[in-house]
Amino acid sequence: MPEGSQGITRAKDICRDRFRRVKELRKEGRKILGYICLHAPVEMMTALQIIPFRMLGDIYETPTQVDRFLPRAFCPFVRSVFDLSLKGKYDFLDGMLLVHSCDAMERTGRIWESVVDHHYFHFMDLPTKVSERHRKFFREGLDDFKKTLEELTGKELSFEELKKAIESHNEQRRLVRSLYEITEKVPPKISGSEILQVIGAITSIPVEEGNKLLREVLAEIGKRKSGKLKGPRILVWGSVLDHPAFVEMIEDLGAHVVIDDLCTGTRGYWVDVKLDGDLLSSLAYYYLVELRCPRTFKEAPSDGKRKDYSADLEERFGYLREFAKTWKVDGAILQSVKYCDCHGFEVPQVKDYFNSLGITSLSLEHNYMIADREVLKTRVEAFLEILRGGVE
Amino acid sequence: MSGEGKKRYINRLKSFLPLRSKIDETYKKSLEAIQMGRPVAWAMINAWYGDPILRAIELETVYPENFGAVCAAEGIAESYLNRADAEGFPSHLCGYARNCFGYVSRMTKELGGKIPPEAPIGGMPKPIFLLSSNIGCDARYKWFQALGRYLDVPVWVLDMPIPGVKELFRDGVYERCIRFIVEELKEFVHFLERILGVKMDWDRLEKTVYDIEEMNRVWFEINEFRKAIPCPMHSRDFWSAMPPSLFLAGKPAETLILYKEMWKEVKERVDHKLSSIHTEEKFRILFSELPPWHSLSVFENMAERGWNFVIESWGYHPPPPLDLSGISDPLEHIARFSFHFHTAYFKDALEEGEYYGYMGYPLLKFAREYKCDGAFFHLPLTCRSTSTHQLYLQEKMKEKLKIPSMIVSGDIVDLRLFNPAEVMKRIEVFEESMESYRKVREERS
Ligand code: SF4
Ligand code: SF4
């Protein structure tokens, strides 16, 4: 742990014991709602003084209870979160919002609601496509969600309160982006695994506390001396990594994870929610269009008669070109938990895109649990060797 | 299959034969269309969402999911799966999708777009576009999106709202979904008109929609007859007869007549208390999800022991009939019918405090209403959509209905994962379990 790293130490502490702060706040009478997927409009909860809490799994805890309800050949992340819930570890929540982000979430959500007793449970559907009509439809779904929150709190959600909450969350987005700006530099003063821990921390405390923590962290990192350039600069793409172990493993092998495309990394922070006009429409636009996730169907505009694969890849993954350029990426690791269909179908296409950019990539599948890391290590090591051949 | 001359224990209907033959006809027609310079589409099974439109606009359509099952049954799938692996697709993805990736990769990379000679039932010709949907699983649009690597044709996705069980009953939600679906359909019709260069014949659409609703009403009634003891129609007959309903194989006007014939045959069996197995009906069984297409003979062996498969997977069944007589717009008919398919059981589910309103709860209801003694779950390892609810249902059936179930792992395409001999070994033990639960139910009632 770096000397004098107060902010980072705090972030790591919170990340290690994510329940502690919200449990305290619950004792003080605050309401806590759990959500799993990034598509949950946390701003609406914050606006009503509800604390949004991102429910994660535990890579160290073998799932046992969940075998009663979910098959083994199933998203191991969702299995882990559900297992913790079945074991009562999420009992401190007042309820849950489950968003239809992928099959695994949608289906498990229905089982969850049937077998876990939460005072509040809302299932929010999410269209697959992104046209104006789809956004409008989703906006109406947000309005339903708003009503359920008003019923839960007995308060009306005002325009002003929602605007304020969006501003706070946008502020959080900007602060997280500032963290990633640090990793643009060669060598970076903050590691990829540290960033993941900071994000793990801020998704388990109220947004204002999270922003304060981020400012602390940024100030602290600003004072850090530059380290040494250890090795290749890596982009990590893929499904949820809710624990820093995977990225730590890459970094321990002498590489820098400088940027990611993960739903526990950049994805939730890259764009701000716009504050003009109808705020629910802005949220609908953000969560359906701006939030990058393979679950949403996007394609390049065309004449509707012929599909151009390269144009399609550019439309869907163009941001990765920016990432690669700005963060001077030497190689990409495409990782996904097994049984994740959304990411699984995407892998060869993302690989095609990286190939077109001249960036070497490695794809890896894992079973989410910590024990799998050792198996992956050998492959990552070999990949880094290849990159070193080209980097040094 | 059982060896030649071996005694058959399933008392098959006669009326399933012409219905089953509609599948081959579909592939034949698509090949003829290509030979005559007419386009062909590929579609995902879409629960009567896009299919009625495709039929009305007379676009021949093949279903790669069904083609996957055919390739598996014909022993061709393995080479396609290996190709898909080599192309970098993870092996846990839907077996039908991987089969399709392998097939298309061979077709486009090796054969310049020609149908591979080894392809069963004539193969699938190159499509003019791909019709996806979010119905049923993510694979149904992610798969076609990924085909962009090989095919330069557009993908059209039909979006189906899928609300939560209690959320559906919030003010205005149901009608809002219907309006949304109607708009989806309008856009789809415009897309088709553009790509095909023809205009939709709205009268034909109206007639097609009417035939589909009527056909499904008859098909639904046929399945209601199966509540009788003994059950007059086995799951084998159901699976053989379902394609004209499920993905509109054949012309609905013609297949409606065939289903009416089947209605008569099944009704006659009910009237005469005729069973769909030649042995005494000892156990009435619910079958859940995708059948092991490659090992259907195992059902004969079970029939020999008095197992009658009386009801199966919700996703293959039409919804209960809906009175749409007051609605004139054929698109609204389609919207209401297809949405009803997904949500028809939500109200009952909510009353019972169950929130898996489609896929899960309906099977619970079926198990009760078809007076099942046990359930047989086939858990396909590469299909999340049809495997997610099985353990949950097992738990619920036992807890709420005192009905035991057995889960057998397998796959839709990889034949090696399903072991019929192993299944037969397990069923003896399961029979004991069914007997003892029967006593529990009797005591309870
Ligand atoms: S990892 Fe994949 S399957 Fe699991 S919740 Fe995320 S998107 Fe869904
Ligand atoms: S995942 Fe299952 S439901 Fe989806 S296309 Fe494949 S077999 Fe069909």
Ligand 2: centre distance to CA A387 (Å): 38
**A151 CB near a chain B CB, below 8 Å?**
no
Q: Do A66 and A79 contact (CB within 8 A), yes or no?
A: yes
Ligand 1: centre distance to CA B130 (Å): 25
The residue nearest atom 7 of ligand 2, judged by CA position, is B383
Residue B145, min C-alpha distance to chain A (Å) = 8
Structure tokens at A343: 């990411």
Q: What type of residue sits at position A5?
A: S
Structure tokens at B127: 């499509």
Choice between A147 and B297, residue whose per-residue pLDDT is larger: A147
For A70, the closest of B93, B163, B391 (CB atoms) is: B391
CB contact under 8 A, A341 and B142: yes
Across chain A, mean pLDDT equals 95
Give residue A390's pLDDT.
Answer: 64
Angle between helices A76-86 and A103-115 (to 10 degrees): 10
Which pLDDT band, with edges at 50, 70 and 90, does A391 fall under?
low
CB contact under 8 A, A125 and B163: yes
Mean pLDDT to the nearest integer, B361-366: 97
Structure tokens at B211: 């035939």
- Does the pLDDT of residue A110 top 70, yes or no? yes
Residue B391, min C-alpha distance to chain A (Å) = 5
Give residue B380's pLDDT.
Answer: 85
For B157, the closest of A129, A133, A306 (CB atoms) is: A129
Distance of alpha carbon A109 from alpha carbon A100, whole angstroms: 8
SS (H, E, C) chain B: CCCCCCCCCECCCCCHHHHHHHHHHHHHHHHHHHHCCCCEEEECCCCCCCHHHHHHCCCEEECHHHHHHHHHHCCCHHHHHHHHHHCCCCCCCCHHHHHHHHHHHHHHHHCCCCCCCCCHHHCCCCCCEEEEECCCCCHHHHHHHHHHHCCCCCEEEECCCCCCCCHHHCCCHHHHHHHHHHHHHHHHHHHHHHHHCCCCCHHHHHHHHHHHHHHHHHHHHHHHHCCCCCCCCCHHHHHHHCHHHHCCCCCHHHHHHHHHHHHHHHHHHHHCCCCCECCCCCEEEEEECCCCHHHCCHHHHHHHCCEEEEEECHHHCCCCCCCCCCCCCHHHHHHHHHHHHHHCCHHHHHHCCCCCCCCCHHHHHHHHHCCCCEEEEEEECCCHHHHCCHHHHHHHHHHHHCCCEEEEEECCCCHHHCCHHHHHHHHHHHHHHHHHHHHHHHHHC
CB count in 10 Å sphere of residue A276? 7
Across chain B, mean pLDDT equals 94
Residue B66, min C-alpha distance to chain A (Å) = 20
Q: Do A108 and A130 contact (CB within 8 A), yes or no?
A: no
CB contact under 8 A, A127 and B159: yes
Mean pLDDT to the nearest integer, B299-321: 97
Strand B374-380 with B283-288, pairing: parallel
Q: Which of these, B202, B218, B205, B211, lies nearest to B252 by C-alpha position?
A: B211
CB contact under 8 A, A297 and B145: yes
**String of b and e for A87-104 (b: at least 16 CB within 10 Å)?**
eeebeebbbbbbbbbbbb
Q: Which of these, A31, A296, A274, A21, lies nearest to A169 by C-alpha position?
A: A274
Which pLDDT band, with edges at 50, 70 and 90, does B209 fall under?
very high
For chain B, report the end-to-end CA distance as a whole number of angstroms: 41
For B149, the closest of A147, A341, A349 (CB atoms) is: A349
Give residue A86's pLDDT.
Answer: 97
Q: Which ligand sits closest to the CA of B137?
A: 2
Q: What type of residue sits at position B334?
A: I
Structure tokens at A23: 């449990």
Indicate the domain borders of chain B: 16-444
Give residue A1's pLDDT.
Answer: 35
Distances (CA, A) of B235 to A180, A268, B47, B214: 58, 47, 20, 22
How many residues appear in chain B? 445
Distance of alpha carbon B152 from alpha carbon A308, whole angstroms: 6
Give residue B158's pLDDT.
Answer: 98
Give residue A2's pLDDT.
Answer: 37
Q: Identify which of A343, A367, A369 to mutate to test ligand 1's pocket (most ligand atoms within 8 A of the CB).
A: A343
Q: What is the pLDDT of residues A173-212, one digit of tens each?
A: 999 999 999 999 988 999 999 999 999 999 999 999 999 9
Give the residue from chain A lying closest to B87, CA to CA. Answer: A348
Distances (CA, A) of A291 to A107, A130, A287, B17, B221: 22, 11, 5, 50, 46
Give residue A362's pLDDT.
Answer: 98
Mean pLDDT to the nearest integer, A162-171: 98
**Beta carbon pairs, A and B, within 8 Å:** 173
Q: What is the number of the ligand 1 atom nearest to the C-alpha of A337? A: 1
- Does the pLDDT of residue B125 top 90, yes or no? yes
At residue B181's C-alpha, the angle toward residues B175 and B186, to 5°, is 130
Q: What is the pLDDT of residues A303-326, one digit of tens each?
A: 888 999 999 999 999 999 999 999
Q: Do B232 and B275 contact (CB within 8 A), yes or no?
A: yes
CB count in 10 Å sphere of residue B327? 13
Mean pLDDT to the nearest integer, B383-409: 94
Choice between B121 and A289, residue whose per-residue pLDDT is larger: A289
CB contact under 8 A, A74 and B387: yes
Work out whether the CA dihedral B37, B39, B42, B46 comes out positive or negative: negative
Q: What is the pLDDT of residues B329-349, one digit of tens each?
A: 999 999 999 999 999 999 999
- Does the pLDDT of residue A71 top 80, yes or no? yes
- Does the pLDDT of residue B2 top 90, yes or no? no
Q: What type of residue sits at position A313?
A: L
For A339, the closest of B92, B142, B391 (CB atoms) is: B92
Q: Do A51 and A25 contact (CB within 8 A), yes or no?
A: yes
Give residue B5's pLDDT.
Answer: 61
Q: What is the number of the ligand 1 atom nearest to the C-alpha of A76? A: 4
Q: Do A329 and A236 contact (CB within 8 A), yes or no?
A: no
Give the residue from chain B lying closest to A306, CA to CA. Answer: B153
Give residue B250's pLDDT.
Answer: 92
Distance of alpha carbon B397 from alpha carbon B286, whole angstroms: 11
Q: Do B381 and B387 contact (CB within 8 A), yes or no?
A: yes
Distance of alpha carbon B226 from alpha carbon B366, whole angstroms: 11
Q: Which of these, B313, B58, B48, lies nearest to B158 by C-alpha position?
A: B48
Residue B34, min C-alpha distance to chain A (Å) = 18
Contacts of A386 (CB under 8 A, 6+ apart): A331, A360
CB contact under 8 A, A295 and B154: no
Structure tokens at B267: 């009704």
Mean pLDDT to the nearest integer, B421-433: 92
Which pLDDT band, with edges at 50, 70 and 90, does A4 fall under?
very low
Distance of alpha carbon A195 from alpha carbon A266, whole angstroms: 10
Ligand 2: centre distance to CA B313 (Å): 14
Q: What is the pLDDT of residues B101-121, one digit of tens each?
A: 999 999 999 999 999 999 998
Q: What is the number of the ligand 2 atom nearest to the C-alpha of B44? A: 5
Q: Identify which of A74, A79, A240 to mutate to test ligand 1's pocket (most ligand atoms within 8 A of the CB).
A: A240
Q: What is the pLDDT of residues B5-61, one digit of tens each?
A: 678 999 999 999 999 999 888 888 888 888 888 999 999 999 999 999 999 999 999
Q: What is the number of the ligand 2 atom nearest to the C-alpha of B140? A: 5
For chain A, domains (ranges, CATH) are: 7-158 (3.40.50.11890)
ipTM score? 0.95
Which pLDDT band, with edges at 50, 70 and 90, does A3 fall under?
very low
Residue B290, min C-alpha distance to chain A (Å) = 16
Ligand 2: centre distance to CA B137 (Å): 6
Q: Identify which of A80, A103, A239, A335 to mutate to test ligand 1's pocket (most ligand atoms within 8 A of the CB).
A: A239
Helices (H), chain A: 6-16, 19-27, 42-47, 76-86, 103-115, 132-153, 159-184, 192-202, 207-223, 245-252, 279-285, 309-326, 341-357, 372-391
- Does the pLDDT of residue A5 top 70, yes or no? no
- Does the pLDDT of residue A227 top 80, yes or no? no
Distance of alpha carbon A124 from alpha carbon A38, whole angstroms: 13
- Does the pLDDT of residue B415 top 80, yes or no? no
Q: Identify which of B386, B387, B388, B414 to mutate to test ligand 2's pocket (most ligand atoms within 8 A of the CB).
A: B386
Chain A residue numbers with beta carbons less than 8 Å from the beta carbon of B360 are 110-111
- Percent of chain B scoring above 70 in pLDDT: 99
Chain A residue numbers with beta carbons less than 8 Å from the beta carbon of B157 are 128-129, 297
Ligand 2: centre distance to CA B257 (Å): 30
Chain A residue numbers with beta carbons less than 8 Å from the beta carbon of B85 are none
Q: Which of these, A349, A340, A173, lies nearest to A268 by C-alpha position?
A: A173
